[in-house]
Amino acid sequence: MSAIEATRQCLAAIPGLRVNEDEPLAQHTRFGIGGPARLFAESAAREPFLEALRIVFDTGVPWTLIGGGTNLVVSDQGFDGVVLRYTGGAISGEGPLVQVEAGAVLQDLVDQSIARGLSGLHTMTGIPGGVGGAIYGNAGAYGHSIQESVARVWFFDGTALRSLTNAQCEFRYRESIFKAEKNWIIIAAELEMPCGDAATLKAEADAILDLRNRKYPPEMKCAGSIFKNLLLRDLAPAVREQIPSQVIREGKVPSAWFLEQVGGKGMRDGDIHVADYHANLIYNAGSGSARQVRAMIAELKKRVNQRFGIELEEEVQYVGFTQASRQAGQPVSLKTSV
């Protein structure tokens, strides 16, 4: 019996765990792209999910974890292993404290915090995905990030459930310790937020949501911004001198500005397009492929590097690609719409 078949049998025996073979991952990504997972296992209950993690850790089969799939580029060939997803979404708490499961929808957490008059997450309204992914990538918007609210994170390390304080999470711009420790799986978190006026927070959130929906329409098959913005202090003086002061926001320079300078707006490769109004937005206009997304990303990175000597870093995560193929990024000839 193969390792993957033995794993399937073990997973299928766990009550409360849904296990499917050859699950189309395109159904679980906002890009709407990706081949099948050899095995797909998900649960809304903590214990079945932890037991599934123990099994895949012990059997040694290839595995990966997904959440809402909002920032994933999944290979056209899919993933030849086990794809795990935790959908536990409980949110509770009193006063300034909120306890939340990693599988909770981020928007649900934002809405509940606003309703309770808790400030700090309202600027993240409209960001798709789950809470676990938001903590993993230290998601944020409009000058704030989730790290400001995180008090403690519980995670599974392959053997037991452990916790880290905010400082131990090593949060940085769009980074956390969990990006380095790939086998540490976020399970839950406790957040602490200052009090605010619920009506004021909702009004600010509604205005932000209106802007976001115009920039990233909910029906658009995209991953939001593809590249991280850059910290002004990290740029070479010769590059800083070229950047208009009005572009700089809170010490950061939008990647979109660099992409605009190299003709990124409106580029196309089949159904994979760069928005003609935002150079850091790649979307699937129909039946685009992961190969085309990767080629587009590689071409944009190459142009910016050649012009500015900067290596843009993706916010998106890759599933089903080898490290070598991710790094190769063979650029192809792309059309620019006019």
Point out the residues that are catalytic.
Answer: 174, 225, 315
Helix and strand element counts for the chain (H, E)? 10, 20
Q: Which residues contact 328 (CB under 8 A, 6 or more apart)?
A: none
Q: Kind of pairing, strands 272-274 and 281-284?
A: antiparallel
Query: Phi and psi of 63, rounded to 5°?
Result: -150, 160
| 133 CB burial (10 A radius; 0-12, 13-18, 19+) | buried
Q: Which residues contact 199 (CB under 8 A, 6 or more apart)?
A: none
Give the distance, in angstroms, between the CA of residue 208 and the centroid of all CA atoms in the same chain.
19
Q: Which residues contact 284 (CB under 8 A, 6 or more apart)?
A: 31, 32, 33, 221, 222, 271, 272, 293
- The DSSP call for residue 247 is G
